[in-house]
Structures are given as structure tokens and as C-alpha cells.
Amino acid sequence: MKKILFINASPKRNGATDKLLSLVTMNLNKETFDHKVINLSDYDINYCAGCKICYKTSECVQKDDIHAIMRDIEASDIIVTISPSYWADITGQLKVFIDRCTPYCNTHEHHAAFSKGKEGYAIALRTGQSPCECLHIIETINHFYGHLEIDFDEKFNMYLCGINNSRDILKYEKEIKCFADLINCAV
Ligand SMILES: Cc1cc2nc3c(=O)[nH]c(=O)nc-3n(C[C@H](O)[C@H](O)[C@H](O)COP(=O)(O)O)c2cc1C
């Protein structure tokens, strides 16, 4: 059984991102995957204080919910991060979360590390029609995976444009099923 963790960066409950996630998880092969969805906005995650103590200790000095999410990542084989476009970028919740992953960032000599072999996928959605904002979000998420030494592959990215609300997601039911099938076939 593979463990798959969905990190939902939208602060809105029952919005478009929730609907998209529910369709992806509904189409996952239940015999292959044990999945968990976490909503970043349900967690108490402080801003990074910029102290850089973690550059030396590989640990964050702040005691909040970030550590529970780190445990969830460690326990998972596949991480799927999903963000709507907010001002042409990832949501604030996701940016704060990424900053707090700095103890795991491989650009400093002493850093914490997740066990090898994890894979990272990315999903972006937006109201506007052109894909460029979504591609930027996907690039940001893949950049994050890269510094955490989580493997990513462009083919496991999905983006949806023209999404105003959860009903709009239904226009993409076929594409979402194809994305879930891609995940099903990958293991
Ligand atoms: C604060 C805010 C900023 C947004 N900025 C953009 C934007 O720059 N470009 C865009 O295409 N959509 C933008 N949107 C629209 C969302 O990306 C879109 O409605 C998405 O489906 C929201 O997902 P949700 O229902 O899970 O919140 C913005 C929405 C909000 C609330």
C-alpha cells in the first residue's frame, strides 16, 4: 500500500480546490493507495522568523503544528501539493509553509532530510484563462520539492484554468480522472 499525502493550500473549505481534490481522491485505486488530505489553513503555522538557527541545527526553534506536517510527509510515499492562484502566485498559506520547511532545505550544510524515494506532484488552478500563472505555481512547488530532495516529474503536474467556483471543476472531470489514472498507473 502506497501512502499519498495531499497538501491543500486553499484557505476556502468546500471551494474549487476541495472539489478538485475530492475528484482526484475518488478516482484513486483504493487497493493501491492510502490517502490523507491536509488543509494548511487548519494548522497553526507561524511565519519563519528568519533566525537561520536551523542552518546549524537542522531544526526549527518554533513549537507549532509544522512538526506534525513534517511527520506526515515522512510517512508518505507521494506528496501532492495543490494551490489556487492568489495574485498570480501560490497562496499565502503555502508560502508560509514552504518557508517553515527551511530546516529541510538542502542549500545549507546541516539540514534535516526526509527518507529517499518520495515523489512530489503539483496541481494549480485559477480563474483566468491563460496557463502562465498556473505554470508559475507548479514551478514554485517543484522548486520546493527539489530542495527537499523529493523527486518530481513534469508529467505529474495538472493545472485547470477558468475556475471560479466548485461547479466549474466539473467541466474538467475527464482531465481529473486521467490525472488520477496517471497516478494509479505510476505505482
Ligand atoms: C485573494 C484571491 C486572489 C486571487 N488571485 C487570482 C489571480 O491572480 N489569478 C487568477 O486567475 N485567479 C485568482 N483568484 C481566483 C482563484 O484562483 C480561483 O477562484 C480558485 O478557483 C479558488 O479556489 P478555492 O475555491 O479553493 O478558493 C484569486 C482568488 C482570491 C480569493
Please work out whether the CB of residue 16 comes within 6 Å of at least one atom of ligand 1: yes
Query: What pLDDT, in 10s, does the model give residues 134-172?
Result: 999 999 999 999 999 999 998 999 999 999 999 999 999
Q: What is the rounded average pLDDT of the residues 102-128?
A: 97
Instruction: Specify whether the CB–CB gap between 110 and 57 falls below 8 A.
Output: yes
Has residue 186 got a pLDDT over 90? Answer: no
Q: What percent of the chain has pLDDT over 70?
A: 100
Q: How many domains does the chain have?
A: 1
Domain that holds residue 50: 2-186
Q: What is the rounded average pLDDT of the residues 103-116?
A: 96
Q: How confident is the model at residue 187 (pLDDT cuts 50, 70, 90)?
A: confident
Q: What is the rounded average pLDDT of the residues 1-12?
A: 97
Q: How far is the CA of 145 from the centre of ligand 1 (A)?
A: 23
Supply the mean pLDDT for the chain: 97
What is the total residue count of the chain? 187
How far apart CA 101 and CA 110 sit, in angstroms, is 13
How far apart CA 2 and CA 24 sit, in angstroms, is 16
- The CATH number linked to 8 is 3.40.50.360
Question: Of 8, 4, 16, which Cα lies nearest the Cα of 42?
Answer: 8
Q: How far is the CA of 185 from the centre of ligand 1 (A)?
A: 31
- pLDDT value, residue 5: 98
